[in-house]
């Protein structure tokens, strides 16, 4: 991977990691599905009136929007609201890297290098350490939702690769049209109108800041950057880079919301970084990135 693309990947993962505690700040006053629905409504409108629809089959756009908005972020936000600490959520979601690598091998016949297998095993040890450090503190339902969101993210990565989309920003804007309706209707169906009233009353400056960060940095910028990398490189090369997200997520959760860290968690973070380094390092990687196909 070229240095400028690696720098972009690190910046994206920094924004995404920071997004977890900032999302938690919004969830302190706004219902999780309402917050997620507003996020994607703002990510789509008014931009869809000015940006041309991406030149791919619209089924890819709709499928990605639903999987990404409802299956991934709806599940993450509900899981955090259910009691999963945002730093830990940012780590559990990284199971998507393994799902994505194996999707790449299964669907695109990408060859997994021995170093990627070794790196994956090392990272699994790090993830296991994180789970052991929790001592059952988080609700099983919330953790299950985060695992579900990891599966959804891996499927979203496959859709991006399969679609061959070139207009990445346009794709994200148009895909953002699809999550708000099922999220908001689901809220109404499950809980009636109370979450909407409560969210409106509690929508203060912190919640607004959380939404702005989620829309313009975590969605528009970061998914443009990430999906651009998915277009240029094999999914099995890009996916492991997401393992930097929990490093940034846990650190910023400590700094922003005072999340407490167990010593075993700190050791496990170091193990994860080591596994990532093993998985992505190539002694001699001078290949040009593959061109996307339409």
CA–CA dist 261, 265 (Å, integer): 6
Confidence (pLDDT) at 71:
92
Question: Which single residue is written with the structure tokens 């089959």?
Answer: 57
The yes-or-no verdict on residue 292 having pLDDT over 50 is: no
Model confidence band, residue 147 (pLDDT cutoffs 50, 70, 90) = confident
92 contacts 250 by C-beta, under 8 angstroms: no
Q: What is the DSSP letter of 64?
A: H
The yes-or-no verdict on residue 132 having pLDDT over 80 is: no
The yes-or-no verdict on residue 259 having pLDDT over 60 is: yes
SS3 99: helix
Select the more confidently predicted residue: 88 or 39: 39
Minimum mean pLDDT range among 71-80, 110-119, 256-265: 110-119
The radius of gyration of the chain's CA atoms, rounded to the nearest angstrom, is: 18
Confidence (pLDDT) at 288:
37
CA–CA dist 263, 285 (Å, integer): 36
Closest CA to 97 of 80, 119, 64: 119
Minimum mean pLDDT range among 161-170, 172-181, 245-254, 278-287: 278-287
Q: Per-residue pLDDT averaged across 77-104, rounded?
A: 82
Pull the structure tokens for residue 254: 């400590």
In whole numbers, what is the pLDDT of the chain averaged over residues?
A: 83
Counting Cα atoms < 13 Å in the Cβ hemisphere of 185 gives 6
The yes-or-no verdict on residue 250 having pLDDT over 80 is: yes
The yes-or-no verdict on residue 280 having pLDDT over 70 is: no
- Helix ranges, the chain (H): 3-27, 32-44, 58-66, 75-81, 86-92, 95-107, 114-134, 140-163, 168-175, 180-191, 194-202, 205-212, 222-232, 235-238, 245-257, 263-280
17 contacts 249 by C-beta, under 8 angstroms: yes
Select the more confidently predicted residue: 68 or 100: 68
**C-alpha 178: how far from chain center:** 17
The yes-or-no verdict on residue 169 having pLDDT over 60 is: yes
Q: Per-residue pLDDT averaged across 181-196, rounded?
A: 89
Confidence (pLDDT) at 286:
37
CA–CA dist 31, 198 (Å, integer): 8
CA–CA dist 57, 27 (Å, integer): 35
pTM of the model: 0.79
Confidence (pLDDT) at 123:
78
The structural domains of the chain, with segments of one domain joined by +, span 3-280
Closest CA to 96 of 125, 132, 71: 71
Confidence (pLDDT) at 139:
59
CA–CA dist 28, 48 (Å, integer): 30
Minimum mean pLDDT range among 38-42, 46-50, 67-71, 136-140: 136-140
- 88: Cβ–Cβ under 8 A, 6 or more apart, which residues? 130, 134, 138, 250
Confidence (pLDDT) at 267:
87
CA distances (Å), origin 95, targets 21, 34, 165, 169, 243 = 19, 26, 25, 25, 9
Pull the structure tokens for residue 148: 């579900």
Confidence (pLDDT) at 284:
38
Interval 197-207: pLDDT, tens: 988 888 889 99
The yes-or-no verdict on residue 289 having pLDDT over 70 is: no
Q: Per-residue pLDDT averaged across 81-110, rounded?
A: 78
Pull the structure tokens for residue 162: 């399969």
Confidence (pLDDT) at 12:
93
């Amino acid at each position: 991977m070229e240095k400028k693309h690696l720098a972009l990947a690190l910046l994206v993962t920094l924004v995404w990691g920071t997004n977890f505690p900032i999302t938690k700040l919004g969830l302190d006053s706004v219902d999780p599905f309402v917050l997620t629905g507003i996020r994607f409504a703002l990510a789509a409108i008014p931009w869809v009136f000015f940006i041309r629809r991406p030149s791919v089959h619209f089924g890819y756009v709709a499928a990605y929007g639903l999987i990404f908005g409802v299956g991934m972020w709806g599940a993450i936000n509900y899981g955090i609201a259910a009691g999963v600490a945002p730093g830990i959520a940012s780590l559990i979601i990284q199971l998507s890297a393994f799902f994505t690598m194996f999707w790449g091998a299964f669907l695109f016949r990408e060859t997994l290098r021995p170093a990627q297998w070794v790196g994956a095993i090392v990272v699994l040890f790090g993830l296991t350490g994180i789970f052991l450090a929790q001592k059952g503190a988080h609700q099983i339902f919330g953790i299950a939702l985060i695992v579900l969101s990891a599966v959804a993210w891996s499927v979203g990565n496959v859709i991006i690769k399969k679609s061959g989309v070139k207009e990445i920003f346009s794709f994200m804007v148009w895909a953002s049209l699809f999550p708000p309706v099922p999220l908001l209707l689901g809220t109404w169906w499950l809980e009636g109108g109370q979450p909407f009233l409560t969210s409106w009353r509690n929508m203060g400056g912190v919640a607004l800041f959380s939404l702005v960060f989620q829309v313009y940095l975590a969605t528009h910028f970061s998914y443009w950057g990430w999906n651009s990398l998915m277009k240029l490189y094999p999914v099995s090369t890009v996916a492991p880079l997401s393992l930097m997200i929990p490093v940034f997520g846990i650190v910023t959760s400590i700094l922003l919301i005072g999340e407490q860290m167990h010593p075993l968690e700190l050791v496990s973070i170091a193990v994860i970084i080591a596994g990532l380094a093993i998985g992505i390092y190539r002694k001699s990687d001078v290949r040009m990135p593959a061109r996307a196909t339409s």
